[in-house]
Amino acid sequence: MSALNLDDFAPLIERPDSAARRDAEERRARLTVRPGALGRLDELGGWLAAVQQQVPVRPLAQPRVLLFAGDHGVAELGVSARPAGGTKDLVRAVLDGVSPAAVLARGAGAPVRVVDMAVDCDPAELPEEVTRHRVRRGSGRIDIEDALTPEEAEAAFRAGMTIADEEADAGTDLVVLGDLSVGGTTAASTLIAALCGTDASVVTGRGGAGIDDLAWMRKCAAIRDALRRARPVLGDQLALLATCGGADLTAMTGFLLQSAVRRTPVILDGVVSAACALVAQRVAFRAPDWWVAGQASGEPAQGKALDRIALNPLLDHGVTAGEGTGALLALPLVRAAAALSAELPVRD
């Protein structure tokens, strides 16, 4: 297997088709609906035309919800309202169709794919198609040790790339990206603080499950300690993911970059996907043109990451459930933009 060189991504990722975007804007000016009446739906329609390289836009026929799952050793410090090692229960709820994401995906007619990268359970407890890319059982405790070995980080990154290729080859025309994790927001906030050069207290939020003040202080301290370990490797994005990310975040970063190579658009969910997007932007500056941010989660780290990569969330409903729910709530909006762009009549 050839060595993984992240510098190879930059020349492989092109911007979405600017000519198609201009054609979409010209067509929009000829619609019977007055300019500006559709608000951000017009912007989304232009983005879809650019990523599809087509005017009128094709309706979205094969969206897919993709959830990367993993436990994080830092959860042992009590930084989450959920118990350490509890990701298996989140995965099982999705597979059983009883999680918020599963309900929303079912209503949207979007199949859900769960990818176990580092869930802390016996792999026999979950279906083989879920566990086949697993790198390890739980990621390391990032305040005192690396989340992954270099070999594990490369394996996780390559797994994300493989999944991006599988989805592109299967005809997936939009990915709704989320995570299932306990402790994942702590790792994500560390990555964002490191890349934005901010202090731990600036990025520490309450997490998707909500935490009290004592847990917030523990989380802030864990991020501060992890930041000390992250700063020496800021110039090497794969090493940064190995130091303070985790197998799920590393795989998501590989997925985002390879999806941009394959011209597959992605809706980002919360702070975890935003952190991976920020790392991916450091690898290839054109990659964010292939993504939209589904919703503002209220996590301060997410706001910093999205501001840095110039993505404005489509929604802000105060939803903090995570697990892809925010991105799923934005899916009907993106579908509506595609339908309006494709079906509204133009003036003669």
Residue 2 has pLDDT above 60, yes or no: no
> For 114-173, how does the pLDDT look when each residue is reduced to its tens digit (9 = 90+)?
999 999 999 999 999 999 999 999 999 999 999 999 999 999 999 999 999 999 999 999
Instruction: Single out the catalytic residue among 152, 167, 323, 343.
Output: 323
Q: Which residues contact 179 (CB under 8 A, 6 or more apart)?
A: 67, 68, 69, 70, 248, 249, 252, 269, 270, 272, 273, 322, 323, 324
pLDDT at 1: 41
CB hemisphere CA count around 123 (13 angstroms): 14
pLDDT, residue 208, reads 60
CATH topology of domain 63-332: Rossmann fold (3.40.50)
Q: Mean of the per-residue pLDDT values for the chain?
A: 95
Kindly state the percentage of the chain with pLDDT values over 90: 89
Rounded CA gap, 55 and 346, in Å?
13
Least confident of 177-191, 271-285, 301-315, 317-331: 317-331
pLDDT band at 321 (very low <50, low <70, confident <90, very high): confident
Sign of torsion, CA 179 243 197 72?
positive
How far apart CA 248 and CA 36 sit, in angstroms, is 40
pTM: 0.96
Residue 323 bears catalytic tag = yes
pLDDT tens for 219-264 read 999 999 999 999 999 999 999 999 999 999 999 999 999 999 999 9
Instruction: Delimit the domains of the chain by residue range.
Output: 9-58+339-343, 63-332
d(CA 282, CA 240) in angstroms, rounded, equals: 11
Please say if the pLDDT value at position 216 is more than 70.
Answer: yes
Q: Encode pLDDT of 259-287 as tens digits.
A: 999 999 999 999 999 999 999 999 999 99
What are the two backbone dihedrals, phi and then psi, of residue 312, each rounded to the nearest 5 degrees? Answer: -105, 120
Cα–Cα distance, 102 to 107 (Å, whole number): 9
For 30-82, write each residue's pLDDT tens digit: 988 988 899 999 999 999 999 999 999 999 999 999 999 999 999 999 998 89
